[in-house]
């Protein structure tokens, strides 16, 4: 028997809480980079590996997530994912060396599939009129997780500079990065517990032949007289489908003519959303802001501002997505994103760098750093040329240790222009293409391919995200910020053109009605 559940809203909140944990995981690591790099003497590529390890792991996990979801169900899959989060958070906190930390984060990345499974589950339980805002809760949960992590990182940074006895006793001054990562453990345990209170997906139950149980779940959600009609629609969409199909057979469904348009849209949007560089900014927020020459403390504080801005505009996006529609938010959101990235490119391209004799003398006397005298008075037209010259003199490890101070002293940077571009980009992404992606993934695929399709295109999106995260530190050192943002901007422009041509409107339509719409277009 199916018990009386709280509501569709309750289930959506519980399931999307996993995205909050993902946001915590991703942003907490951004605050540890300086500390871990100093403790383990990491190179650019090692930093990239540490940050992007979950992004690599999720690529492997997504290959099998869809099949597992179809076999054991969305609910049981989420419970397993939540346990992986708990294990990874504990292992990361107590990692004795760099290699162990990377392995622990890699294991945690297997749980990043929580995004695609959450979008799948919510899309299957939500009524058409509410699907947009309910699925978009996944995005707001990520952003709240990012915001909480940035705030925690900033607070931990301030505590690490304190001489208060209890701070010293707890090891906050000597194990700052471990305390940052430990924060994730408690919410992961809470999520694991809450997942036992939600029902199985009614569409998955029909797929597995448990029609009576699916009917009970729909009644528990308050579907009333529409239950029988919805069950008929679901059953008709599954005619000729083998619910026990193998992984390879299930994957072949993606090449059917009736899902072709959905596949094209998901592929293009999945790539474009990530190639604009959102995870370079979110996963490396303090590092990005240090390039503005504002210093380490201000860089962490600016990361808090980014998180807060993203949270506000994600809420706005959720309020608009079922009113304005998916197409306007996606298409014009990409235009806004592109303009913002071009502003960032222009700002960084105007920056110059030059070391003063006073600063070099101060650094030499306070930290016994020698060799920078030869660079005094030289003017560098790009950050990567300046960094290359300093690294050649100091070595990469010493430069990393004092990077914030050096850039703060040497840079003549139009900070206001770049900040406008970055904040505008954060506003645009979180209000438009951020939440729209998961809403589209949750609704454009028919029931018989959803278990395979959503993880597959989440895999493609995650693969792009992985490369962005892995190579960002290296690109920042070897190409410079201006060229990175130029590439992101051009990618956004190409994405805008493509999505303008192919993006449909899907609001207020059931999953089965969207399938019929695509079939008519393909006929």
Q: What is the DSSP string of 107-168?
A: HHHGGGGHHHHHHHHHHHHS-HHHHHHHHTHHHHHHHHHHHHHHHHHHHHHHHHT---HHHH
Instruction: Decide if 469 is inside a domain.
Output: yes
Instruction: Decide if 3 is inside a domain.
Output: no
The reported pLDDT for the residue numbered 188 is: 95
Contacts 24+ apart (CB under 8 A), 219-228: 220/2, 220/3, 220/4, 220/5, 221/5, 221/7, 221/8, 221/125, 222/7, 222/8, 223/127
Q: Is 115 in the same domain as 209?
A: yes
Instruction: Decide if 2 is inside a domain.
Output: no
Q: Is 129 in the same domain as 274?
A: yes
Q: Is 337 in the same domain as 400?
A: no
Q: Is 265 in the same domain as 408?
A: no
Instruction: Decide if 523 is inside a domain.
Output: no
What's the domain count of the chain?
2
Residue by residue, pLDDT tens for the chain (523 residues) are: 344 445 888 998 999 999 899 889 888 888 888 888 888 888 888 888 898 888 888 888 877 887 788 888 889 999 999 999 999 999 999 999 999 999 999 999 899 888 788 888 888 887 777 777 787 788 788 888 888 888 888 888 888 888 888 888 888 888 888 999 999 999 999 999 999 999 888 888 887 778 788 878 777 776 666 666 667 776 666 655 555 555 566 667 677 777 788 888 889 998 998 899 888 887 777 777 777 766 667 777 788 888 888 889 988 888 888 888 889 999 999 999 999 999 999 998 998 888 888 888 887 887 777 778 888 888 888 888 888 888 888 887 777 777 777 887 887 888 889 889 999 999 999 899 888 887 887 788 876 677 678 778 878 888 888 888 888 888 887 888 899 999 999 999 999 999 999 888 877 777 777 777 777 654 4
- Encoding tokens for residue 451? 């278990």
Q: Is 179 in the same domain as 292?
A: yes
Choosing from 396, 412, 428, the residue where a domain stops is 412
- Encoding tokens for residue 40? 């383990």
The reported pLDDT for the residue numbered 244 is: 55
The Cα 183–Cα 160 span in angstroms is: 15
Choosing from 412, 439, 454, the residue where a domain stops is 412
How long, in residues, is the chain?
523
* Bridge partners (DSSP) listed for residue 412: 352
Q: Is 362 in the same domain as 445?
A: no
The reported pLDDT for the residue numbered 250 is: 61
pTM: 0.72
Q: Is 313 in the same domain as 376?
A: no
Q: Which of 85, 35, 90, 95 is nearest to 61 (CA)?
A: 85
Q: Is 110 in the same domain as 233?
A: yes
CATH of the domain at 326: 1.20.1250.20
The reported pLDDT for the residue numbered 121 is: 86
Instruction: Decide if 1 is inside a domain.
Output: no
The Cα 523–Cα 521 span in angstroms is: 6
The reported pLDDT for the residue numbered 3 is: 43
- Encoding tokens for residue 514? 């969207």
Q: Is 220 in the same domain as 357?
A: no
Q: If you ran DSSP here, which 8-state letter would residue 284 be given?
A: T
Question: What residues contact 341, with CB distance under 8 A and at least 6 apart?
Answer: 276, 277, 421, 425, 485, 488, 489, 492
The Cα 222–Cα 230 span in angstroms is: 13
The reported pLDDT for the residue numbered 113 is: 83
Q: Is 236 in the same domain as 177?
A: yes
Look up the domain containing 215 and give its range. Answer: 8-247+256-349+417-516
Q: Is 324 in the same domain as 379?
A: no
Q: Is 207 in the same domain as 155?
A: yes
Choosing from 362, 397, 412, the residue where a domain stops is 412
**Backbone phi, then psi, for 194, in 5-degree steps?**
-70, -30
SS3 of 355, please?
A: strand
Question: What residues contact 449, with CB distance under 8 A and at least 6 apart?
Answer: 250, 253, 254, 256, 259
Residue 160: CB atoms within 10 Å: 18
Instruction: Decide if 118 is inside a domain.
Output: yes
């Amino acid at each position: 028997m199916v018990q009386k559940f709280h509501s569709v809203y309750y289930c959506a909140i519980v399931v999307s809480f996993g995205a909050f944990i993902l946001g915590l995981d991703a942003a907490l690591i951004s605050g540890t980079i300086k500390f871990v790099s100093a403790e383990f003497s990491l190179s650019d590529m090692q930093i990239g590996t540490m940050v992007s390890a979950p992004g690599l792991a999720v690529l492997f996990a997504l290959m099998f997530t869809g099949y597992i979801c179809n076999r054991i169900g969305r609910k049981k899959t989420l419970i397993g994912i939540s346990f992986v989060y708990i294990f990874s958070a504990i292992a990361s906190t107590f990692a004795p060396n760099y290699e162990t930390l990377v392995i622990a984060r890699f294991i945690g990345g297997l749980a990043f599939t929580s995004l695609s499974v959450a979008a799948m589950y919510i899309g299957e339980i939500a009524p058409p009129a509410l699907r947009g805002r309910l699925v978009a809760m996944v995005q707001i949960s990520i952003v709240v997780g990012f915001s909480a992590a940035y705030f925690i990182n900033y607070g931990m940074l301030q505590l690490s500079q304190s001489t208060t006895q209890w701070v010293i006793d707890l090891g906050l001054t000597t194990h700052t990065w471990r305390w940052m990562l430990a924060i994730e453990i408690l919410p992961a345990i809470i999520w694991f517990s809450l997942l036992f209170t939600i029902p199985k997906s009614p569409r998955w139950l029909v797929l597995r032949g448990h029609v009576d149980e699916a009917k009970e779940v729909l009644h528990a959600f308050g579907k009333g007289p529409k239950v029988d009609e919805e069950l008929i629609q679901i059953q008709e969409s599954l005619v000729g489908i083998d619910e026990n199909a193998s992984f390879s057979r299930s994957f072949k469904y993606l090449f059917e003519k009736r899902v072709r348009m959905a596949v094209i849209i998901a592929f293009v949007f999945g790539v474009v959303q990530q190639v604009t560089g959102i995870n370079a900014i979110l996963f490396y927020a303090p590092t990005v802001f240090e390039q503005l020459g504002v210093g380490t403390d201000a860089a962490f504080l600016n990361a808090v501002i980014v998180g807060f801005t993203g949270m506000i505009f994600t809420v706005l996006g959720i309020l608009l997505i079922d009113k304005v529609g998916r197409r306007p938010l996606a298409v014009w959101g990409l235009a806004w994103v592109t303009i913002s990235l071009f502003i960032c490119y222009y700002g960084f391209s105007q920056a110059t760098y030059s070391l003063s004799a006073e600063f070099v003398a101060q650094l030499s006397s306070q930290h016994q750093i020698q060799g920078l005298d030869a660079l005094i008075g030289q003017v560098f037209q790009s950050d990567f040329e300046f960094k290359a010259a300093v690294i050649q003199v100091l070595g990469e490890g010493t430069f990393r240790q004092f990077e914030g101070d050096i850039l703060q002293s040497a840079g003549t940077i139009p900070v206001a222009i770049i900040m406008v571009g970055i904040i505008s980009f954060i506003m645009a992404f979180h209000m438009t293409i951020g939440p729209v992606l998961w809403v589209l993934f949750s609704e454009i695929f028919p029931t018989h391919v959803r278990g395979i399709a959503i993880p597959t295109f989440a895999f493609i999106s995650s693969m792009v995200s992985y490369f962005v995260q892995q190579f960002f530190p290296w690109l920042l050192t070897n190409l410079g910020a201006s060229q990175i943002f130029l590439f992101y901007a051009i990618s956004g422009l190409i994405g805008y053109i493509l999505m303008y041509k192919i993006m449909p409107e899907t609001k207020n339509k059931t999953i089965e009605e969207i399938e019929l719409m695509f079939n008519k277009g393909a006929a």
